[in-house]
Amino acid sequence: MDVIEAINSRKSVRAFKPDPVPKEVLRAILEAALRAPSWDNTQPWEFAVLGGEVMDKVRAAIMEKVGSGEKTNPDLPWPKLTGAYLERGKRNGRRLFQELGIAKEDRQARTNWWLSMPQFFHAPNGIIVYMDASLGEWSLVDVGLALGNLMLAAWHYGVGTCALAAAVWYPDVLRSLLNIPQSKRIIVGLAVGYPDFSSPAAKFHSDREPLETLVTWHGFD
């Protein structure tokens, strides 16, 4: 797949087939992720790749915390959004629910949808991304660059992904099950699997702001 085609066609996938992604495909995807640039070639990213029984255990442990009502405590604080940044998310959320056929007044359907997030949207595989806690904000930029590579490489192989804050709501659960040291900062989780395009949750494509909104030109006629 051409890189521009991959960039323009990639989407966050929220419905997956049960078939696990073969380890050799996951290796190829992660090798591409590791080619990302980073500050002074520090390569701060680390990945825990989940499958099989471990994937089931992680999912179950997170849902046990959710079911108990325990307050979330992610290592990376949620952003506090206002103005246009908040509205962009709400606008696409409304579009997604419309395509899923979830009415505004259907609270149970909305709750079920939100509860599918910490379950990695029932994907057969997952990835937990973390970095050393001694590193600062520039390393977060680097991790983001690696994630971009990973998602595009996955799409090249026909594999869908969705970045999930809900997957890392309870970092101590992940540290315990995946042997991630306390010295590491858990950043984000990814749902990984082959898209189930029979579901609108896999076909949904969020919109983007027009170029004119976000780009200024300097020194051009």
Query: Which pLDDT score, from 0 to 100, does residue 12 have?
Result: 95
Neighbour tally for 206: CB within 10 Å: 13
In this predicted structure, what is the pLDDT of residue 184?
A: 98
179 contact partners, CB below 8 Å, separation of at least 6:
none
- Residues of the chain with confidence (pLDDT) below 50: none
For the chain, give percent helix, strand, coil, nearest 5: 50, 15, 35
The pLDDT assigned to 208 comes to 94
Angle between helices 107-116 and 83-100 (to 10 degrees): 110
Residue 95 and residue 98: Cα distance in Å, rounded?
Answer: 5
Give, in degrees to the nearest 5, the angle at Cα 189 between 184 and 195.
155
The pLDDT, as a whole number, for residue 32 is 97
pLDDT confidence of residue 14? 96
Sign of the dihedral through C-alpha 117, 121, 122, 123: negative
Q: Would you state the pLDDT for residue 137?
A: 95
The pLDDT, as a whole number, for residue 221 is 87
Per-residue confidence (pLDDT) for residue 72, from 0 to 100: 96
pTM of the model: 0.95
Task: Tell me the per-residue pLDDT of 89-121, one tens digit each, with 9 for 90 and over.
Answer: 999 889 989 988 888 889 999 999 999 999 999
d(CA 140, CA 83): 24
Taking CA atoms, 5 is separated from 1, 10, 106, 152, 155, in Å, by: 7, 8, 37, 10, 10
